[in-house]
Amino acid sequence: MFLSLPYLLVTILFFATVCMHGTRKNAALVFLYALQSTAVALLLAHGAIADHSAIILAVAVFAFIVKVMLAPNFFERLIRKHRITFSARTYLGLPLTAIVVAVLVILPSLHAFAPLTAIAPAHTAETSLALAAFFISCFFVTNRQGGISQMIGLLSIENSIVAFALFAGLEQSAMLQIGIMFDIALWVIIATLLASLAYEQFGTLDTGSMKHLTE
């Protein structure tokens, strides 16, 4: 069976998201996010080449710079600066986490979400994978207690949404896409600055250890 490039890329995105739940090292988590982001940037570039659109290609390059170069670089600098040890603490234990992830994988195929995957009948498999990655990323953010995991989880949600939008034909004008990339770049800078401040004050980025809001 012939695998198209977009299908391969969204599969990489999906597996990178699933693997995040099993990560026990900061470097591995940052790598998985960079891998996921490379897949999304290539998806954008593939669409740009297919449409012969120079401006969308520029958006893809901008996405690559922000998501694959800038964001991982900021995370690595944050980890190096504070020698942050990885917090793999989760609200649910590993077996329960695995069960929830399995349920989330099949969620897009349920009747309730069928209209979403049916938006683009030619790309049902791709939209299902992107949608599953979206749900799994949402769960990752809520299940992990580590600050770095939460930040990367949020960016992973955004990657999944972009992939879904691309396959569902919901991509926005180049100007708006650039605006979104600019927003992500700003978000990464602000989140890492705040994380740095939190680490200086708490000596950890484990949100389970932040207990100053007890009133």
Partner 1 sequence: MITLSILIGAPALASIISLFSSRLHLVKYASLAAAAISTIATLFLASRVAFSGTVTLSSFFAIDALGMLGILITSVVGLAAISYSIGYLHNEVNKHIIGPRRVRQYFVLLNLFLAAMLFACAAANPIMMWLAIEATTLSSAFLVSFYHKPSSTEAAWKYLLINSLGLLLGFFGTLLYLSAASLSGENFITWQTLLTHASLLNPDIARLAFVFMLIGYGTKVGLAPMHTWLPDAHSKAPVPISAMLSGVLLNIALIAVLRFKTITDTVVGANFSQHILIVLGLLSIIIAAGMILIQKNYKRMLAYSSIENMGIMALGFGFGGAASLAALLHMIYHSLTKSLLFLSAGNIFLTYSSTKIAQVRGVLTTLPVTGILFFAGILAISGLPPFGIFFTKLAILFTGSDAHPYAVAIALLAFAVIFIGFLRHTTNMLFGEPPANVVPNIESDRWLLVAPATLLLILAVLSIHMPATLAVLLTTASATL
Residue ranges binding partner 1 (CB under 8 A): 112-116, 119, 134, 138, 141-142, 147, 150-151, 154, 157-158, 161, 164-165, 168-170, 172-173, 176, 179-180, 183, 186-187, 190-191, 193-195, 197-198, 201-202, 207, 210, 212-213, 215
State which amino acid sits at residue 48. Answer: A
Please tell me whether residue 144 adopts helix, strand or coil conformation: strand
Q: Which is nearer to partner 1, 8 or 200 (CB)?
A: 200
Least distance to partner 1, CB of residue 102, Å: 22
DSSP letter, residue 204: -
Give the CA radius of gyration of the chain.
18
Q: Token pair of 1, please?
A: 């069976």
3-class DSSP assignment, residue 177? helix
Whole-number minimum distance, CB 28 to partner 1, in Å? 21
Closest approach, Cβ 7 to partner 1, in A, equals: 21
Strand partners, 109: none
To the nearest whole angstrom, how small is the minimum distance from the Cβ of residue 97 to partner 1? 18
Both tokens of 27, joined, read 């470097």
